Structure 1
Amino acid sequence: MTQLENPQTIEVVTHSEPPKAWKWYDYFTFNIDHKVIGIQYLVTAFAFYLIGGLMAVAMRIELYTPDSDFLDPNLYNAFMTNHGTLMIFLWIVPAAIGGFGNFLVPLLIGARDMAFPKLNAIAFWLNPPAGGLLLGSFFFGGSQSGWTAYPPLSLITANTAQSMWILSIVLVGTSSILGALNFVVTILKMKVPSMKWTQLPLFCWAILATSVLALVSTPVLAAGLVLLLFDINFGTSFFKPDAGGNVVLYQHLFWFYSHPAVYLMILPIFGIMSEVIPVHARKPIFGYKAIAYSSLTICVVGLFVWVHHMFTSGTPAWMRMFFTISTLIVAVPTGVKIFGWVATLWGGKIRFTSAMLFAIGLLSMFVVGGLGGVTLGTAPFDLHVHDTYYVVGHFHYVLFGGSVFGIYAGIYHWFPKITGRMMNETLGRIHFALTFIGTHLTFLPMHQLGLQGMPRRVAMYDPQFAYINHICTFGAIILGISVLPFFINAVWSWLYGTQATDNPWDALTLEWTTSSPPAIENWEVLPVVTHGPYDYGRSGTEVNEMAQSTPI
């Protein structure tokens, strides 16, 4: 008698139908859908952004006057350290790579999910405890050694808080490594068969370059921080100068990661720019291959520039010369992207949506920040302004004016796809105007402060710098206020905004061929790629746009 003929051996298995859409509480669970994880990254990162932003406003209020009359000096040091840490490790990197990368990459390449969904979820859930450790360190005085945690200062100040800070960064770094591995495998192995490599969206090229850079550089930072942790808690002397340790070695380990970290933050933003500008300019991207290959070039050259942060650390002349040249070289592929975007805008039928305004604003911000970077990469000039507010102004033009403007551009552009609703354009323009004005008022005068010699990371300063600090503080308050229209817009639009069509921008990349918001597995059947992602205005585009969603 066969098994089918024996009723006692028949096991009845019932399969529950998968949900057609996730409930709100699913976003607070260990969910393996790449879209849910992307939203979890974005919302969590934005919460840390608000906390880090409040710290920044508090510091600027303290700096309004030369005396320490608003924040206790130790609290100021803790705010200064953790503001930078939050903004880099728990806002820009998770939002740009984890948030947009997770939500968009499978949709852009025609995949149903990431290559390793559970690993993807684990990578996200390392971030909340990392943030908890960082904020919890304030119960023990807060880490006060700056976001670079240079020894010997980090060895002697608030050791429990410093240890919590280190463990927090190690957790974030582990998350970054897991996510990078997932992105590399997903992009290389899971794009839809009909998509040629020359049809891969530029955001995916940027994420691929970012992921390779993260896999190479992040373990070096983790190693340096673990050695520092041992010095603090277990009596080792890797970086203790009075016991034969080498503090400059720590700087090499830290900056080998932390300068490439600038590219970890900005390369995904470059990818967002390359997606937003062609859509809203209604023109094909200018120099597709040049922009794609420049991301890979930045990935490689970016590993050989870290010593320009250490020109004052006793570096020999030959080393200064080498890293000055490499720093200037890395500006070339960045310039290729800038010229490509400007050429795409030239003669286009530009729609000045909120997304496009932030993209154009980023162009101006990054040019200013990039020029500052070229000057700081030149050893003689860097020796003059090192550890002054010139560095602070440059750094924030690149990372706030660059990365944060790009994140806002991406949110306004893909909000209809993420939520199925449109954002309010009037509030979006108010948000842009306040952010643009506030950024210039806050960070442009800092270059003058640096040239005049005001040191960074201090709460009390010479009264001659008070007037310029007044301007910077007013700008910071405007920046703080600018978040309000965005927050109101995002929450109100998500709940009550105008219903979005599947493709409200008439874009040509694959994510717009599915529903808004996308179905749980993205498509009922996978799409066929019949044209490039940026073929706007070319003959046959309308026909091809219909064919792109034809199932295989």
Structure 2
Amino acid sequence: MTEQEALHQRFNKVWRNLPGWGSLAAVNHTSVGRRFMLTGAIFFLIGGLLALLIRMQLALPAQEFLNPDVYSQVFTMHGTVMMFLFAIPILEGAAIYLIPKMIGARDLIFPRLGALGYYCYLFGGIIVISSLLLGMAPSSGWFMYTPLSSTEFSPGPGSDFWLLGITFVEISSVSAGIELVVAILRSRTPGMTLSKMPIFCWYILVTALMIVFGFPPLILASILLELERAAGMPFFDVAAGGDPVLWQHLFWLFGHPEVYIIFLPAAGIVSTILPVFTGRPLVGYRWVVMAVILTGFISFGLWAHHMFTVGIPQLAQAFFSMASMLVAIPTAIQVFAWLATLWAGRVVYSLPMLWVFGFLFVFVLGGLTGVMLAMVPFNWQVHDTHFVVAHLHYVLVGGMLFPLIGGLYYWLPHFSGRMPSERLGRWGFGLVFVGFNATFFLMHLTGLLGMPRRVDTYETGLGWDWLNLLSSVGSFVIAMGVAIIIIDVLLHFRFGRKAGNNPWKADTLEWTTGTPPTMYNFASLPEIKSRHPLWDNPELLQSIPAGEHGLTQIEHGRRETFGTDAITGKLKEVMLLPTNSWLPLLVASSLAVVCISLLTRSYLAAVVITIVAAIFLFRWSWENGGHPLAAPLGDKEPVEAPLQSRTLDGSGLWGMVITLLADGALFLALLFGWLYLWAVAPNWTLPDESLVSLPVMAWSGAFLTFATWWYCRAVKQLKAGDDTGLQTRFWVVTAAGAIHLVLLVGVTLDSPLAITELAHDAVLLVMLMFLIFHSSISVIATALQALRVRYGYVSKELPYEPVVLQPLWLFSLATFWCSVASFLLLPIAWGAA
């Protein structure tokens, strides 16, 4: 056995997954990413079958293939599966699989969080799909507009399946977004500055941040609608002071950024593939980065262009129309950079490039119709027609599916170690490309001829017959192309020729991990000095597996990777990564049972299982930071840099801050809903005096302020290298926080809130429960910190954890006083004025 083989054997012993059923405990990003992508592909096939049922129903006029109720269920589930269970999860899976390999890391920073995200996605998807199998699928549309999705018009459990299942899936998406942001910023290999990152990493970084800010409004909307359906809290009931249009605002606050959340990773694939097959760097790298950031920023100001016909003010229509056209500028920058790269390079017309060319054609057409829809008068004419359906599919399906399949063929040798069939691949591309345009281009014409969307049939003689028939034929041509691609992928695992290392002569680090890759990615972590490391230093293909770079010690049995500065890429610490764990599966399973209990209205069981899930989560947190299982002390410390548990700026702090950004987005969405109902809802009423005792709230806030101040003093002392009396300080904080919590719960129980009669009172209760939830976590976590000081897991030598918890106390304090000012004091001041 050679020295290199012995090194890899030692790494495999530490990084391998457990055999058999034990593989369910795997947390390695390669395993988790594969599972995301495979599950997403299965959901894609389910969504595709539902699409074929829709096209069969619309192929001829007056069809009775599907009755109206079944058609509505199929239509709703097709959109739900494609938007929530396929598009975002499969792109997140690709990012989870690729990002550590591209940035020179051995794993993502929070591996157990990634595994939890997958199981939440899997179980949430199963809950949603089971509604279809049980004949109880939602029929209100994948957008679940109220009041159509409310109890009055959707009395069955269909909407509940959607709300609980999709919320479960959204938890998965947000967790993946947090994980990817922190990994990209803090675990790049030394020397990889932000300006040297692969362009794909920039796309994923912006996308992940958009997920962090964009998904919480939908999570809040789903919670509010489920509370309305299950507990009668009238957030969207006009008679009780609510407004159904509030749902549309919250939905599209998520929904329009989601369009770019889907598009940007796909565009990142294009920007990665083009340089490889043109043999030159991407033209305008910095311009493309700026365009991606600008796209992410502008996308949050476009949501109301989906609502031009609901009666929003003309000034708002003008603003959102202008913003909708403005987003074409950063998109055009990217398109011109791609065209310039093609022009300047020598193009190799390989299989991945076919899909790139198909994408460019389809996406430009979708962009042109998007500019048309941004004009309010035109939008009024075609808003509820098949023209919008065609635009949606050109932008989302064409803009995402074509690059995704191109990326599949590009990274398939990396995944399997074998090359796909050029012949089968070209047949698959041809059928999908022709079928796609035959299906959706003709929908522009039926839309312009007046065919409404979301209808299950139509009369003959309207001029739509032959267009719909050809469109339906095109959908089956797409299905044939997809079938050939699936056959090609399956056959290549057995019959494909060996790929070897870096078969495409690519420039990024993932091709140094082996084909297929090892579970630990890199036997040694190199220092990067170029944006194109494999072009500028091809020897990395041999020197990295040979262990000629950093962090090659593995005898201690720890999973480690480098932690670097977010901007400069300078080495700061060695991050210790968790090994195989059953906790993510146990937590996700518990939460799934909670969802099922809520569906069956078994609320006592839901409370009990929630407590069980909390126990698993706190057990999870107990084995973190300075715990011996997480950061054993001894003489086997890394020589390159200290373990992050010995530092004050580790990944946990970054993870907490990004998590609180998502939490803050949810709070701001709640505040937006409060102010919107106050300003717009015709029956919104404010009481003459506050329903919540202001003196008790003031005392509660005083204790919270003291607890936060005292905690910050304890952290400041710890940062100064003094842990004297640290345990006592934490117990004081716990006691003050507990008093605050008791007062807050008491004032909530004593408040005369008519939560089933007035939307005003229902929103107040949600606000109070938000505050109680965060204060409870802060108090319990601080009590655990006091215990961990006693056990020696927190000290001046191990200062990592208290710094992580500090932002949570500050967030709880800020949201408390903001809530008092906005929800309690502002109405009183308004009434007095």
Question: TM tier, shorter chain?
Answer: over 0.9
Give the counterpart letter for 2:513 in structure 1.
T
Please report the TM-score for the alignment, with normalisation by the length of structure 2: 0.62
* CA-CA distance at 1:541 after TM superposition: 6.5
Indicate which of 301, 304, 311 corresponds to 2:301. 304
The DSSP-based 3-state class of the residue aligned with 1:259 is helix
AA aligned to 2:131 is S
Structure 1 counterpart of 2:683: none
Whether 2:268 is the aligned partner of 1:265: answer no
Residue 488 of structure 2 is matched in structure 1 by 489
Amino acid at match of 2:451: M
**1:212-231 correspondence to structure 2 within 5 Å:** 212-231=209-228
Aligned pairs for 1:330-345 within 5 A: 330-345=327-342
Q: Which residue of 2 aligns with 1:103?
A: 97
Task: Indicate the larger mover: 500-509 or 17-26.
Answer: 17-26
Q: Distance in 1 between matches of 2:16 and 2:351?
A: 28
Asked if 1 retains the 8 angstrom alpha-carbon contact of 2:11 and 2:520, the reply is: no
TM-score by length of 1: 0.93
| 1:375 Cα offset (Å) | 1.0
1:317 and 1:17 mapped to 2: Cα distance?
63
Q: Residues of 1 paired with 2:403 and 2:18: CA distance?
A: 29
1:22: Cα distance to partner?
Answer: 5.7
1:389 maps onto 2:386 in alignment: yes
TM-superposed deviation, 1:534 = 8.4
- The alpha-carbon deviation at position 21 of structure 1 amounts to 6.3
Q: Following the alignment from structure 2 to structure 1, what is the Cα–Cα distance between the partners of residues 19 and 401?
A: 27
**CA shift for structure 1 position 24:** 8.9
* Aligned-partner Cα distance in 1 for 2:135–2:53: 20
* 2:18–2:26 Cα contact (<8 Å) kept: no
2:506–2:534: 8 Å Cα contact kept in structure 1?
no
Aligned to 2:82: 87
Change in CA separation of 1:223 and 1:420 when aligned onto 2, cut-off 3 Å: same
Q: Distance in 2 between matches of 1:365 and 1:140?
A: 36
- In structure 1, what is the equivalent of residue 192 of structure 2? 195
Matches within 5 A, 1:515-530: 515-530=514-529
Alignment partner, residue 5 of structure 1: none
AA aligned to 2:282 is I
Judged with a 3 Å threshold, the aligned counterparts in structure 2 of structure 1 residues 519 and 345 are, in CA distance, closer, same or farther, namely same
Paired residues in the alignment total: 534
- Residue in structure 2 matching 1:36, options 31, 38, 49: 31
Per-residue deviation, residues 71-123 of structure 1 (Å, max 9, x unmatched)? 121111011001011011111101112x2101110011000100100001000
* Residue 69 in structure 1 maps to residue 64 in structure 2: yes
Residue pair 2:136, 2:156 contacting (<8 A) in 1 also = no
Matched residue, 1:399: 396
The residue type equivalent to 2:367 in the other structure is G
1:455-507: CA deviation from partner (whole Å, max 9, x where unpaired): 00111123221111011101001011111111111111123321211100011
Structure 2 CA distance, aligned partners of 1:303 and 1:294? 15
Contact 2:177 2:212 in 1 (8 A): yes
**Aligned partners of 1:374, 1:74: CA distance in 2, in Å?**
34
| AA in 2 matched with 1:323 | F
CA 159–432 in structure 1, closer or farther in 2 if over 3 Å, else same:
same
Match of 2:562 in 1: none
Shifted more, 350-359 versus 52-61: the winner is 350-359
Structure 1 residues 495, 33: CA separation in 2 closer, same or farther (over 3 Å shift)?
farther
Partner of 2:280: 283
* Compared CA separation, residues 525 and 310, structure 1 to 2 (3 A): same
Give the direction of change, closer, same or farther, for the CA distance of 1:519–1:490 in structure 2 (3 Å limit): same
Partner of 1:498: 497
Match for residue 51 of structure 2? 56
Shift in Å, 1:319: 0.1
Which amino acid letter does the alignment assign opposite residue 405 of structure 2? Y
Deviation at 1:548, TM superposition (A): 8.2
Q: CA deviation at 1:531?
A: 2.3
Rounded to whole Å, the distance in 1 between the matches of 2:67 and 2:238 is 30
Q: Deviations over 1:418-461 (max 9, x none)?
A: 11111111111111101100110000011111111110011112
CA distance in 2, matches of 1:88, 1:172: 11
Distance 2:135 2:355 in 1: 39
User: Structure 1 residues 546, 420: closer, same or farther in 2, change over 3 A?
Assistant: closer
* SS of equivalent residue, structure 2 residue 149: helix
Structure 2: distance between partners of 1:180 and 1:323: 27
**How much does 1:544 deviate?**
8.2
Please show how residues 143-542 of structure 1 align to structure 2 within 5 Å.
143-155=138-150, 156-463=153-460, 464=462, 465-533=464-532
The structural deviation recorded for 1:25 is: 5.2
* AA aligned opposite 1:449: T
CA gap 1:478/1:533 in 2 versus in 1, 3 angstroms? same
Measured in 2, the distance between the counterparts of 1:192 and 1:158 equals: 54
| SS of residue matched to 1:126 | helix
Task: State how far apart, in whole Å, the 1-side matches of 2:355 and 2:297 are.
Answer: 28
1:10 corresponds to: none
Pairwise CA RMSD of aligned residues? 2.0
> Residues of 2 paired with 1:218 and 1:416: CA distance?
34
Q: How has the CA–CA distance of structure 1 residues 27 and 474 changed in structure 2, closer, same or farther, with 3 Å as cutoff? A: farther
Aligned AA (2:119): W
Q: Which amino acid aligns with 1:126?
A: C
Relative to 1, partners in 2 of residues 1:66 and 1:373: Cα closer, same or farther, differing over 3 Å? same
Q: Shift of the alpha carbon at 1:546?
A: 7.4
The CA distance in 1 between the partners of 2:401 and 2:285, in whole Å, is: 24
Secondary structure class of the residue paired with 1:29: helix
String of CA shifts for 1:121-166, please: whole Å, max 9, x gaps. 0001111111111111121431000011001111112530110111
